[in-house]
Chains A and B, each alone.
Chain A
């Protein structure tokens, strides 16, 4: 009896001690934040540089970062979110931000604006890009736009000249063959862009259409057919690389035909010029996506390359917002980041980085500035299945390029696939 009593009291007291230890840890003042982003090593180095800079001044905060490639990133974030294990600060893409925000896993930032989060010198359109259903969800980490990055040496050697802000699909068709002729077929002028969603969108917009409007496709099956026919013509003229060379590209920088020396160009976004230049010894140039005619406008737009968003389950939201604010508003941080994530969305930071930028960085800033007259409005937040449709276009483009389906059949087929995907419940 006495034994069982004493054991019980022992249990009780030890439990109390455990509880006390749980609620009053010795590091109570320390906030631990987790940060996740996609990108390559160049981006990680710059990001962690800013983290170190921030934690040097904020000894009460420690930040644990994690970065992955694009394809692995979304499964990881989804699993963490479902498991209640979401990092505090999450890098977001315009294709996914709506999906996460509408399901309540990202916290609105409106209450912090002016109270810890300074957006006073931010570009209006960049704030609008990060707004979902009237609430500010994502803080733009940079302005970027669709761009063709090209190897100046390869083009010059082949005697190809393009006007970076006015070149067209016709130029690609007529001048492209020179590159493969002069290199004995080893290098083509451009990759096969028929499966690149951003490029397709750009071409649609130049025709006065769009990818989506009100959650529905804003193009017709005939547009898709015309698009695939355009690329079939370029392929036949050897202006672009072969389908099997294109299929090697899995979306990782290292597998891009431009990096592997198979094409003189890649269709990407303006901020990527910096990352590509670290992988290619020849000097790179930047141009618009090909125009349908030299004076065509409205295809490009000033996108936000990515956002930082705050998890709605963050245990220390104020600290997380403080870090986000530091990331986009501190001049030292801005000069560390450069324009690798795009041109800073804040005018003050643009001035701060301008002086410290190298030649490629300056070119990116100049490109965004030059785009002013050509660019159109930013499209609305895409529907939830946008990520899936991006993959579907890639697969469909391969069916056409490898000859499994004709452009005439592929147009309606892809259109139906889009309708089905958009109409499907998860």
Chain B
């Protein structure tokens, strides 16, 4: 006690600035280098997020000042908005089907490529290409052409005498064309799977085949369990991506989410409300519900992960 008092007493006379100066001298340059990121984070991410949280409790039409609305927007969403429910259904359907299918496809291709074939870097690059192009406007337009009534798919089917519908504009199939588009962009999970497969020690397979385990059994008992951390990582990233998916639906449906709201992704509905119908307050509330939803999904994945993800250390 007394020692502390003695120790602090003489320092009281030293001006405070010296502490700041010391911090500045030690860490200043570091913060200086971080400054661009700080500006971006506070100015372009945190600031807008806080203001959108505020706006979600208002009626705001962009042209006049926001008016406080309390929880009106949230109440409306869950009690009296069929389009909200429709867009939620579309997005959930998309997430539930596109993510597992995409991961399965990515893993399959990764395992094919992992067999030490010639020209692997070339194939890797080629398979990755759709991921780079995927979210672009050009691909969405191309997709329209492929799946339209007289598009490539139906030309192919007509060889077998099948008359296909206009897949992209038929409410029964339009969402599936978008799921196929998502699966086609399997590149980035594939690259990660490929890296994960490389890490699995070969001697495990050797031991297993000496014991007479079939390839199929080796996959289920060795490959998949050892790969679960990578599967987990990919699943989280792809789920978030799927929730955020916007561009293809926007381009293919001309921004309407039609036919019959069958491609009305949550993000597209949010965009419509905000920029089409000038309901910024409501759109902000929609955005926060989406954030909460993604957070819940991610938290759920983390909580269940201890039952199925095996880390070898």
Q: A244-B169, A247-B170 are in contact. Are A394 and B256 (CB under 8 A)?
A: yes
Q: Is A119 interfacial (CB-CB < 8 Å)?
A: no
Distance, CA A426 to CA B72, complexed state (A): 11
Q: Is B239 interfacial (CB-CB < 8 Å)?
A: no
- CB neighbours (8 Å) of A394 from chain B are 256, 258
The residue among B171, B258, B278 with the most chain A CB atoms within 10 A of its own CB is B278
Q: Are A248 and B148 in contact (CB under 8 A)?
A: yes
Could you say which of A247, A387, A398 contacts B276, with CB atoms under 8 Å apart? A387
Closest CB-CB distance, A102 to chain B, in whole Å? 9
Q: Are B63 and A103 in contact (CB under 8 A)?
A: yes
Distance, CA A242 to CA B277, complexed state (A): 29
Closest CB-CB distance, A70 to chain B, in whole Å? 9
B152-185 interface mask toward A, CB cutoff 8 Å, 1 = contact, 0 = none? 0000000000000110111100000000000000
Q: Are A252 and B254 in contact (CB under 8 A)?
A: yes
Q: Are A75 and B276 in contact (CB under 8 A)?
A: yes
- CB neighbours (8 Å) of B64 from chain A are 103
Closest CB-CB distance, A206 to chain B, in whole Å? 27
Could you say which of A103, A250, A387 contacts B253, with CB atoms under 8 Å apart? A250
Closest CB-CB distance, A65 to chain B, in whole Å? 22
Q: Is A71 interfacial (CB-CB < 8 Å)?
A: yes
Segment at the B interface, from A32-40, A77-85, A136-144, A224-232: A77-85
Q: A74-B275, A387-B276, A388-B276 are in contact. Are A247 and B62 (CB under 8 A)?
A: no
- CB neighbours (8 Å) of A391 from chain B are 256, 276
Could you say which of B61, B62, B260, B280 contacts A404, with CB atoms under 8 Å apart? B260
Q: Are B62 and A78 in contact (CB under 8 A)?
A: yes
Q: Which of A234-259 contact B (CB under 8 A)?
A: 242-248, 250-252, 255
- CB neighbours (8 Å) of A244 from chain B are 149, 165-166, 169-170, 259
Could you say which of B61, B144, B255, B258 contacts A103, with CB atoms under 8 Å apart? B61
Q: Is B279 interfacial (CB-CB < 8 Å)?
A: yes
Q: Is B102 interfacial (CB-CB < 8 Å)?
A: no
Closest CB-CB distance, B270 to chain A, in whole Å? 12
- CB neighbours (8 Å) of B144 from chain A are 248
Q: Are A425 and B59 in contact (CB under 8 A)?
A: yes
Distance, CA A255 to CA B149, complexed state (A): 13
- CB neighbours (8 Å) of A255 from chain B are 254
B265-281 interface mask toward A, CB cutoff 8 Å, 1 = contact, 0 = none? 00000010001111111
Could you say which of A74, A100, A248, A251 contacts B168, with CB atoms under 8 Å apart? A248
- CB neighbours (8 Å) of A250 from chain B are 253-256
Closest CB-CB distance, A240 to chain B, in whole Å? 15
Q: Is A10 interfacial (CB-CB < 8 Å)?
A: no
- CB neighbours (8 Å) of A99 from chain B are 63, 278
Distance, CA A74 to CA B62, complexed state (A): 12
Q: Are A404 and B171 in contact (CB under 8 A)?
A: yes
What is the chain B residue whose CB lies nearest that of A426?
A: B61
Q: A398-B171, A402-B171, A426-B59 are in contact. Are A243 and B259 (CB under 8 A)?
A: yes
Q: Is B261 interfacial (CB-CB < 8 Å)?
A: yes
What is the chain A residue whose CB lies nearest that of B69?
A: A425
Q: Are A385 and B149 in contact (CB under 8 A)?
A: no
Q: Are A387 and B277 in contact (CB under 8 A)?
A: yes
Q: Are B63 and A395 in contact (CB under 8 A)?
A: no
Could you say which of A78, A247, A388, A425 contacts B275, with CB atoms under 8 Å apart? A78
Distance, CA A74 to CA B148, complexed state (A): 27
Q: Is A322 interfacial (CB-CB < 8 Å)?
A: no
Distance, CA A82 to CA B63, complexed state (A): 6
- CB neighbours (8 Å) of A426 from chain B are 59-61, 277-279, 281
Q: Are A245 and B276 in contact (CB under 8 A)?
A: no
Closest CB-CB distance, B147 to chain A, in whole Å? 10
Q: Which of B225-280 contact A (CB under 8 A)?
A: 253-256, 258-261, 271, 275-280
What is the chain A residue whose CB lies nearest that of B274?
A: A75
Q: Is A194 interfacial (CB-CB < 8 Å)?
A: no
Q: Which of A359-391 contact B (CB under 8 A)?
A: 385, 387-388, 391
Q: A247-B170, A248-B148 are in contact. Are A71 and B254 (CB under 8 A)?
A: yes
Could you say which of A81, A245, A388 contacts B169, with CB atoms under 8 Å apart? A245
B interface list, Cβ under 8 A from A: 59-64, 144, 148-149, 165-166, 168-171, 253-256, 258-261, 271, 275-281
Pairs across A and B, CB under 8 Å, 28 listed: A71-B254, A72-B255, A74-B276, A78-B62, A78-B63, A81-B63, A99-B278, A244-B149, A244-B166, A244-B259, A246-B169, A247-B169, A248-B168, A250-B253, A250-B256, A251-B254, A252-B254, A388-B276, A391-B256, A394-B256, A395-B256, A395-B260, A398-B258, A398-B260, A399-B260, A402-B170, A404-B171, A426-B277
